[in-house]
Structure 1
Amino acid sequence: MAATCMLALASLTAGASAQDAPVSPGLALNRFNPAPAGDRMFGVQSPYVAGDLTPHASLLFDYGRDPLVLKQADGTRIGAIVSDQLFLHLNAGFAFGQKVMVNVAFPVALMQAGESPSGGGMSFTSPSSAAIGDLRFGARVSLIGTYWDPFQLAIGGYVWLPTGDASEGSFVGEGARALPQVIAGGRVKERFVWSFDLGPDLRRAVIYGGPDGVAQGTTLRTGAGVGILLGEERNFQIGPEITAGFVLDNDNDTPLKRATNLEAMLDARYRFLENFEAGVGVGTGLSAGIGTPQVRVVGMISYTPQMKKPEPPKPKDTDEDGIIDDQDACKEVKGVTNADPAKNGCPPDSDNDGIMDAQDACPQVPGVGSDNPAKNGCPPDADDDGIIDAEDACPQVKGVAHPDKAKNGCPSDKDEDGVIDAEDACVDIKGLKTSDPATNGCPGDTDGDTIRDDKDACPNEKGKADPDPTKNGCPVAVRVTETEVIILQQVQFDTAKATIKKVSDPLLDEVAGVLKEHPEIKKLEVQGHTDNKGSAFLNKRLSQSRADSVKKALVSRGIEADRLVTQGYGPDKPIGDNTTEEGRQQNRRVQFVIVEKVPKGSVTAPTSAAPAPATPAPAKPGDTAPATPAPATPAPAKIPVPAKAPAPAKAAPAPAKAPAPAKAAPAPAKAAPAPAKAPTPPKK
């Protein structure tokens, strides 16, 4: 659809003359009708009244391209009667009581141009100079809603006074006319504004271009617009608006497309310095009616005080007791809040116990009467222990306060072992209830080593008495962790052999005893390790033989053979520096690594664990090491290294002196102390 206005010459024959069909004077061509200052759209009225005794003003520029073009009936362009129009609209308004708005607008054509075309025996004069338009007065009255409401309704309109030039070729004046309107709109969730107006534009009926030209006159005009509010302060608005006009005085059956004005525009505006706005709009014509431009551009700057959202009125509170009259059952007397509407705001019996607050020692808690003013109105306390019966777990027996509701008001049990202090032989230490008053409430002996748990540094492992509290009740040379059975002495072997020396029998006895006490250790790997001196192959074979010897020794002490697997690692897993004697001594060792565990005390069918690596047969001279590496084992617990390594053991050494055992891995509540000084490992 063409975006220009057309004056078809189909009926203007070559024989016609200008005298037969004179051009009608007094045509106000511009169809852009600016909304009053302070409204939300450029060309559509808003229904609200912005303020009370509040002024608004704006300067608005409006440019239209090709609002009136002469064309042949087949659409061939002859020339633009009006090719350009630039108007300045001076707009001012005044708001009264947020109900009535009056405004005035004065249009000035700053620039007009055209090509003065002729055709079909007719010639048209184009404007060529600035001119004053018709002065417009307007008013509207708000009927429903205010500036902030989602739906608002108003009536209003405009009248034009004939102040403009209405002569032929001026295109700015048309004489007196009026436009009454119904206006609707609103503001939705602080995110959108919308406006709509509708009314008849009452103007003189003329036919522009002679009897068979284009009918002009009373026109039904309407417009609608939507604005999206952006920014934290909602100070930026963008959105479309559309305006339309349909000529009703169509006495010569002008085709609808030339008797209709339809424009669409996208506009944006920004509020700054709180009370000022600037905006711009760009649009296009969507019909071929007279005055519809191909392109329209609008620019505006205005002064329009920002509307502040009113604070809701404070509810009335006659007696100033903080309870509004609508909810106060005693409006003239100060009172307090009450869940019962019949008592809310009245002088209080806050706890509804029948004792007025002025005499109630516990006004917020229902209670009972008492001759003692300090207890009057307070809840009962039968045992008089200071804890009310409703919260006293032992209301008939004097007790003490306790955070546990089940113990509050009951006799004291400091250590919370279930034995009250009056009967507890160990008041400050958790213990067990027994029939013996001397031991009632005292700790037990979990491991059965006759050393009481609270004095036993290793309460879960049988041990011996020791004056050192960190060793009391602990095994002498063995500790059990989650991953390893740690020995604090090393198994001694004959030099370069797998023969265990007699000096290590007590150590192996203790290891066997520990394994019997820990049936949850289902599979234990006995590991043999050497330093890096000599042949790696021979070292590995020696370490395997020594591991096998240790297994055999444990089996002979009653340990099931299927609980033990052996592996000789030779020098492959050092824990010390092989470049020093001290490090090499650390590396010559036997370790017991836990491979599989089951919950202690449970009975579990044997599970198919990964088979233990086969014990290699003694190698013959020239044999090579096996191609398949030994399976990975858990990282061993590190045994502390003595500050200075002792001299290596001789071929038949005296038994190594067992170090004072460190505290074994205790029950979870106690931290495991570091092991004592490591013994001298055997010489390879």
Structure 2
Amino acid sequence: MRLRSLALSVFSSALLIGLSSSTPASAQEVRGFALDRFDPSERGSEWFVLDTLDLRGTARPAFGVVGEWAYKPLVVYDKSGSDEKELGSIVEHQLFVHVGGSITLADRIRVGANLPIAAYQTGQTLEVNGQTFRSPDSALGDLRLSADLRLVGRYGDPFTAALGASVYLPTGDRDKYTSDGNTRVQPHLMAAGDIGIFAYALKAGFNYRPLDEEFAQGKKLGSELFGAVSAGLRVANKKLLIGPELFASTVVTDEKSFFKKRTTPAEVMLGLHYTAGDFRVGAGVGTGVFAGSRGWGSPQVRTLLNLEWIPAYSDDRDGDGVPDSEDACPNEKGVRTGDPKTNGCPAAPPPPPDRDGDGVIDSEDACVDVPGVRTGDPKTNGCPADKDGDGVYDKDDACPDIPGIKTGDPKTNGCPADKDGDGVYDKEDACVDVPGVKTSDPKTNGCPPDRDKDGIVDTLDACPDQPGPSDPDPKKNGCPAARIEAGQIKIIQQVKFKTNSATIVESDTILNAVLGILKEHPEIKKIRVEGHTDNTGAAAYNKQLSQKRAASVAKWLTDHGVEKSRVVAKGWGVEKPIDTNNTEEGRANNRRVEFHIEETPDTGAPAKPAKPAKPAKPKKK
């Protein structure tokens, strides 16, 4: 350690003495090298240093210019103390313009060129330890020629890789720090990809640099390993890429230079690139990674601007003129069609004829002109569905699950016959010719309703809830001779008397019907027999006659077994007509006997309806 400290002190003292006592006559002039560490990506990339590997197209060109300004890329330091002290900047300001272009061939290979032009350089001429370092001025740089081959993936995939190489021809000036004075060769491997809006790129390689010289302070130049990485986000509909880039290199041909500050320049920069149609613009700013930017060629500040032209690319992998975004067969050359399912696919041989377009070719289609469905039965294959097999296709069949007959009415087409249209098919209808209602009884199913089952349908039955015989009089048809209704025992025939007399004639049948009800309903405690007359004759006489007739009917009932306590007679004369007295028919209706129920047990309410008499047998149809 003491020897090392002593050596450093001696070296520092010698350096200071050299700085103070050296003269131009005795100093040795040092030659420069290719100083600029910014090596722009090929035109067409969306990074400044890294490459997005957009190797698409056939004879697809790209041209562009990158402007670069660097501050203090080459500085000499004093190493005498524990902290290095800046002695001066050999190159303080450096303005480069990189003019380049590329062309992609066969959708996989790209060749390119880049010519750097040092438009402006300035710095200090320094004499250090007997060596003179002169400040450069403007000059050309080394022309770069490159070729790259895409190995896997495509632009925009999660992973794309390419292998390539660059050759740097010594077109620059070594004394102006724009060339090594010999040819450099740089093989490299690149990768890039997009994952959603995230984009990344990688690059690594070897820079063959046949320049085995010390530049300053015992550090040799020579061949290098280099690497770079970038990551960013694609925003604004992927037109804008923004993110950092990091790149570095180190000399590997001399162990004293390997991963040393001076011979290991490293930079990080933040850049953005915006693509608008066929043009792309970009801007970036960066700095050296190590404190003080002490690597040769790594500046304290670097700013970048670029403008390039690259024709917008429409993917057409198979080259058939149909872009991949529209091509249903992107890897097979085909023809353009109006069908998204076949657009860009090879032309298929014409299909066998299928006139109705139902997918069953005509030679197998039992219904060539009617679209249908495929079946295993040659007789129905290609015909419309007919589940019930009645010959009426389901789409037209009002009863698709029940075999029926073809009709002109969409509501009945394909349904079983229903002659009377009552919704009960003829095969189940007990009254085929008469509209009726559906019942669970096969004997009445489809027949008109007959609630009292007297053989007279409700629509014709004057007493639909009490069975009775048929009668030509609509008001009596289906009614029993006597019935309980609305607090009365109603009769369908009048009790007849001799003229101007209370003697009953030809009325046994109707009175027996009343008698039957009273016998069947002992709960009827009292019945009032009312007599009524028309207005013919004197009112007093009529009332007296009506009273006698009521009493005569009451006596007939008691004579035939009805308790006297159950019957009372009342004559009303002309007081309660039910029809007009201006016609013979009306007067005949007013001459009547009525049976009013006065009492039932407990409530005094009318008695419950009479049991229905046995219905008359319906006539055979």
**TM-score for both structures, normalised by structure 1:** 0.50
For 2:265, the aligned partner's letter is N
Q: Distance in 1 between matches of 2:188 and 2:29?
A: 34
Say if 1:376 and 1:346 are closer, same or farther in 2 by CA, change over 3 A.
Answer: closer
Matched residues, number: 411
Match of 2:220 in 1: 215
CA contact (8 A) 1:368 1:377 kept: no
Q: How many angstroms apart in 1 are the aligned matches of 2:424 and 2:179?
A: 105
Is 1:245 aligned to 2:255, yes or no?
no
Deviation at 1:187, TM superposition (A): 3.8
Aligned position for 1:297: 303
**Counterparts of 2:305 and 2:402, CA distance in 1:** 85
Q: Counterpart of 2:600?
A: none
Note the alpha carbon deviations across 1:29-74, whole angstroms, 9 max, x for none: 1100011111232112454434212221111101111112222222
Is structure 2 residue 61 aligned with structure 1 residue 51? no
Equivalent residues in 2 for 1:188-337, closer than 5 Å: 188=194, 191-210=197-216, 212-232=217-237, 234-250=238-254, 252-253=256-257, 256-272=260-276, 274-287=277-290, 288-310=294-316, 311=324, 312=327, 313=329, 334-335=351-352
Q: Secondary structure at the match of 1:250?
A: coil
Question: 2:233 is matched by which residue type in structure 1?
Answer: I
Partner of 1:166: 174
Task: Give yes or no for contact 2:398–2:415 (8 Å, CA) kept in 1.
Answer: no
Secondary structure in 1 aligned to 2:261? Answer: helix
In the alignment, structure 1 residue 83 sits paired with structure 2 residue 86: no
- 1:316–1:66: structure 2 CA closer, same or farther, 3 Å change rule? closer
Deviates more, 1:299-308 or 1:373-382: 373-382
Please identify the structure whose Cα radius of gyration is greater. Answer: 2
**Residue of structure 2 equivalent to 1:616:** none
Amino acid in structure 2 at the alignment position of 1:216: L
How far apart are residue 86 of structure 1 and its match? 0.9
Pick closer, same or farther for the CA change 1:158–1:20 going to 2, 3 Å. farther
Is the alpha carbon distance of 1:216 and 1:375 closer, same or farther for their aligned partners in structure 2, counting shifts above 3 Å? closer
> 1:98-141 deviations in whole A, cap 9, x for unaligned?
233222211111221223345556553222x3222222222222
Rounded Cα–Cα distance in structure 2 between residues aligned with 1:347 and 1:125: 90
Matched, 1:66 2:75: no
Say if 1:384 and 1:201 are closer, same or farther in 2 by CA, change over 3 A.
Answer: closer
CA contact (8 A) 2:365 2:383 kept: no
The answer (yes or no) to whether the contact 2:161–2:189 under 8 Å persists in 1 is yes
1:290-344 residue CA offsets vs partner (Å, 9 max, x unmatched):
11111111100001112212224476999x9x998xx99xx8662389xxxxxx9
Deviations 1:464-520 (A, max 9, x none): xxxxxxxxxxxxxxxxxxxxxxxxxxxxxxxxxxxxxxxxxxxxxxxxxxxxxxxxx
Which residue is 1:143 aligned to?
Answer: 151
CA deviation string 1:205-239 (max 9, x = no partner):
344445x432221111122223432223x222112
CA distance 1:91–1:384, change in 2 (3 Å): closer
Q: Which runs of 5+ in 1 are unaligned?
A: 1-7, 338-343, 350-354, 453-684
| Separation in structure 2 between the aligned mates of residue 148 and residue 409 of structure 1, nearest angstrom | 63
2:109 to 83, 100, 103: 100
Correspondence for 1:624: none
Give the letter aligned to residue 335 of structure 1: P
Deviation at 1:247, TM superposition (A): 0.8
User: Matches of residues 110-509 of structure 1 in structure 2 within 5 Å?
Assistant: 110-119=119-128, 122-127=131-136, 129-167=137-175, 170-188=176-194, 191-210=197-216, 212-232=217-237, 234-250=238-254, 252-253=256-257, 256-272=260-276, 274-287=277-290, 288-310=294-316, 311=324, 312=327, 313=329, 334-335=351-352, 347=361, 356-357=365-366, 363-364=372-373, 366=375, 379=386, 392-395=400-403, 409=415, 437-439=447-449
CA gap of 1:431–1:307, structure 2 versus 1, over 3 A, is: same
Q: Which runs of 5+ in 2 are unaligned?
A: 1-9, 317-323, 452-457, 466-621
Percent of residue pairs bearing the same amino acid type: 25
Match of 1:109 in 2: 118
Q: 1:604-660 deviations in whole A, cap 9, x for unaligned?
A: xxxxxxxxxxxxxxxxxxxxxxxxxxxxxxxxxxxxxxxxxxxxxxxxxxxxxxxxx
Q: 1:40 aligns with which of 46, 49, 57?
A: 46
Q: 2 CA distance for matches of 1:317 and 1:56? A: 29
Give me the whole-angstrom Cα distance separating, in 1, the residues matched to 2:378 and 2:106. 62
Tell whether the 8 Å contact from 2:241 to 2:274 is kept in structure 1 after alignment: yes
Please provide the CA RMSD for this pair: 5.0
Aligned equivalent of 2:33: 27
Letter in 2 for 1:80: S
Contact between 2:193 and 2:201, CA under 8 Å: does it hold in 1?
A: no
Amino acid at match of 1:86: L
**CA positional deviation for 1:196:** 2.1
Closer, same or farther: CA 270–12 of 1 in aligned 2, 3 Å: farther
Alignment of 1:550-589 (within 5 A): none
Contact 1:215 1:251 in 2 (8 A): no
Question: Superposition pairs for residues 542-621 of structure 1, below 5 Å?
Answer: none
Taking a change above 3 Å as real, the CA distance of residues 292 and 384 of structure 1, as seen in their structure-2 partners, is closer
Query: CA shift at 1:277, angstroms?
Result: 0.7
Q: Which residue of 1 aligns with 2:597?
A: none
Q: Offset of 1:188 from its aligned partner?
A: 2.7
Q: Retained in 1: the 8 A contact 2:30–2:133?
A: no
Aligned-partner Cα distance in 2 for 1:154–1:177:
23
- Matched residue type, 1:143: L
SS in 2 for 1:36: coil
Mapped to 1, the partners of 2:190 and 2:77 lie a distance apart of 39
Instruction: Tell me what 1:641 maps to.
Output: none
Partners of 1:374 and 1:291 in 2: CA distance: 83
AA of the residue aligned to 2:289: L
Q: Indicate if the aligned counterparts of 2:99 and 2:116 stay in contact, CA closer than 8 A.
A: yes
1:519-551 CA deviation, whole Å, 9 max, x = no partner? xxxxxxxxxxxxxxxxxxxxxxxxxxxxxxxxx
Q: Residue by residue, what CA displacement relative to the aligned partner does 1:238-260 show, whole Å, maximum 9, x if unpaired? A: 12221110111225457623321
SS at match of 1:101: strand
